[in-house]
């Protein structure tokens, strides 16, 4: 028996570009969130829920395994990119998921031109690295989520401290 769940489609960049073009032709707007999403925690849920509220469609870009290792260091990611993408795609608030190989999302932002680029509370609008790219095509950057009092690094550390 097949299980059908609400949620997003994990797709290639080409498929995503076509879908975004179709959405725009239908008058829909897109918000864009990105990250490693290695070990999910409540901060991720709040970030994605807030990002989804910014537009009609939510695109989530997930770093591939090589870029996570380069950004986060040895031992990361804990889960493979395909698994992380499937987890994020299961969220009702997420419409599209894409795995990307770059260290930043500048290339994807330039290609997709989402109306809203969402970043977490570990940034300010002024410190978002891709802010200039978003401003250049006429988009806006917003800070989403709650205060950064939880992290994947902390969750992994707590798990490692458990006996057995």
CA–CA dist 62, 72 (Å, integer): 14
Per-residue pLDDT of the chain in tens (164 residues, 90 and over written 9): 333 445 578 999 999 999 999 999 999 999 999 999 998 989 999 999 999 999 999 999 999 999 999 999 999 999 999 999 999 999 999 999 999 999 999 999 999 999 999 999 889 999 999 999 999 999 999 999 776 666 656 655 555 677 76
Residue 93 lies in a domain: yes
Residue 1 lies in a domain: no
Residue 110 lies in a domain: yes
Alpha helices, DSSP H only, in 53-127?
65-72, 81-89, 106-112
Rounded to 5 degrees, what are φ and ψ at 70?
A: -65, -35
Domain range for 136: 9-159
Residue 67 lies in a domain: yes
Give me 57's structure tokens: 């469609």
Residue 34 lies in a domain: yes
pTM to 2 decimal places? 0.87
The CATH number covering residue 136 comes to 3.40.50.620
Which pLDDT score, from 0 to 100, does residue 1 have? 34
Total number of domains in the chain:
1
Taking the CA of residue 149 as centre, how many other CA atoms within 13 Å lie in the half-sphere pointing to its CB? 2
Residue 2 lies in a domain: no
Which pLDDT score, from 0 to 100, does residue 77 have? 94
Residue 87 lies in a domain: yes
Residue 4 lies in a domain: no
């Amino acid at each position: 028996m097949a299980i059908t769940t609400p949620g997003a489609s994990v797709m290639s960049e080409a498929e995503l570009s076509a879908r975004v073009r179709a959405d725009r032709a239908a008058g829909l707007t897109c918000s864009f969130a990105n990250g490693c999403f290695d070990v999910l925690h409540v901060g991720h849920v709040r970030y994605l829920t807030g990002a989804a509220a910014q537009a009609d469609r939510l695109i989530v870009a997930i770093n591939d395994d090589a870029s996570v290792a380069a950004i986060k260091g040895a031992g990361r990611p804990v889960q493979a990119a395909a698994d992380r993408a499937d987890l994020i795609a299961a969220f009702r608030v997420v419409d599209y998921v894409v795995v990307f190989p770059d260290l930043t999302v500048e290339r994807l932002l330039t290609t997709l031109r989402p109306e809203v680029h969402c970043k977490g509370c570990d940034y300010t609008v002024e410190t978002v690295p891709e802010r200039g790219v978003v401003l250049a095509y006429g988009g806006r950057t917003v800070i989403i989520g709650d205060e950064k009092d939880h992290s994947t690094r902390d969750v992994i550390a707590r798990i490692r401290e458990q006996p057995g």
